[in-house]
A = this chain, B = another copy of it.
Amino acid sequence: MAQLLTFLGKGGVGRTTIAIAAAKKLAGQGARVLLAAQDPSPAFGVLLGATPSGDPQTIEANLSVVQLQSTLLLEKAWEEVKQLEAKYLRSPTLRNVYGQELSILPGMDTALALNAIREYNKSGLYDVIIYDGSGHLTELRMLGIPETASWYIRRFRQVFLDSDLGQAISPFVQPVTAAIFNTSWSFDNLAEQPTNEANSLLNDGKAAIADPSQIAVYLVTTRDRAAQAMAKYLWGSAQQVGVTVAGVLLNSSEGAPSSEVSAEFAPLPITSLPQRSGDEWQPLIDALPNLRETTNAPKPLSIDVANRQVRIFLPGFDKNQVKLTQYGPEITVEAGDQRRNIELPASLRGQGVKGAKFQDGYLIVSF
């Protein structure tokens, strides 16, 4: 299993440069590294000093690079969808639609990238995957897919089954599907069966996001005020998708970070990095910390069943920016332009929230 490392920060702070330096450093230490770039433009190759493509290429010992291309990835994914359909349906409907004619809708880039990373991870060829993504909210939406998509499936499956429409169609669906499907689905498992494969993928994804030894994020900023405001916002927002933020990289900055910056991002470790000049990578590589050491970072979420408490880490927000609501078996936390629906363990499920307080950057909910 590879470890995925990625960087969040305002555009122009040097995320891509740091991603390249980190890949070089880890490869130099003997880890098998894949550097995967979301940007399909030639700008990435200009920074890298090489011409990557849509398939991984080895550019140094232990270091492969791939430039993700959504059009290519969509073609491959479409073939898999067609095969899946052909497996379940006796008479496939999609065979006359070709991957080569499909255009890219918003959101597809990140969903396809996440799937590609999953497959590179599964290949066993890499110890570390460094993902140079969009670096801000769009990337957090991507990391949130497993949890968010699970929630939508869970919620709307129930809505459909409960609906008059679902009930009315029910008696008709079984004979029809029995006539055309190979397997004999009933109405109830019709909603379940095709999502099983998806569900297990999503559950694996949720487990990976929650485990800092599998996925960790670093904040990148400079001394610029807007860049620091963005990094702080992304720190809190990252907690909302349940991913661990392991440290801060203060780019284009010599010497120790100011006490002001240290206070802003406490308790995260902060590392100052020199600005890269020309083709000289070594000073930047030398200055990078051990990015694979991620276990001391604060956990986004912890549930204390004995004390009937849920603790949600939300640094950078104050209590007016956080909204807590409860619908049915879940609680919903709104902050940083994201909502997180938290499934409660059996012993807390269905119980009313008794109290909530905001303390030292933690939202503490009691049941």
Contacts and interface: CB of A to CB of B under 8 A. Distances in A.
A159 B107 contact: no
B110 A106 contact: yes
B337 A104 contact: yes
A43 interface: yes
Number of chain copies forming the complex = 2
Nearest to A170: B176
Interface stretch (A58-66, A143-151, A184-192, A202-210): A143-151
A229 B341 CA distance: 41
Give the residue among A69, A101, A341 with the most B Cβ atoms within 10 A: A101
Nearest to A72: B337
A284 to B, nearest CB: 16
A179 interface: yes
Given A12-B11, A12-B12, A234-B41, A93 B176 contact: no
A327 B138 CA distance: 33
Contacts of A151: 103
Contact of A160 (B41, B71, B93, B141): B93
Interface centre among A98, A110, A138, A226 (most CB of B within 10 A): A226
A40 interface: yes
Interface string A24-44: 000000000000000111110
Interface centre among A13, A165, A330, A332 (most CB of B within 10 A): A165
A279 to B, nearest CB: 12
A305 interface: no
A109 interface: yes
Contacts of A330: 101
Given A11-B10, A104-B337, A176 B168 contact: yes
A18 to B, nearest CB: 13
Given A138-B138, A159-B93, A337 B70 contact: yes
A100 to B, nearest CB: 6
A42 B106 contact: no
Report the 6 A-B pairs with minimum CB-CB distance, sorted nearest first.
A12-B12, A11-B11, A107-B107, A93-B163, A41-B233, A106-B107
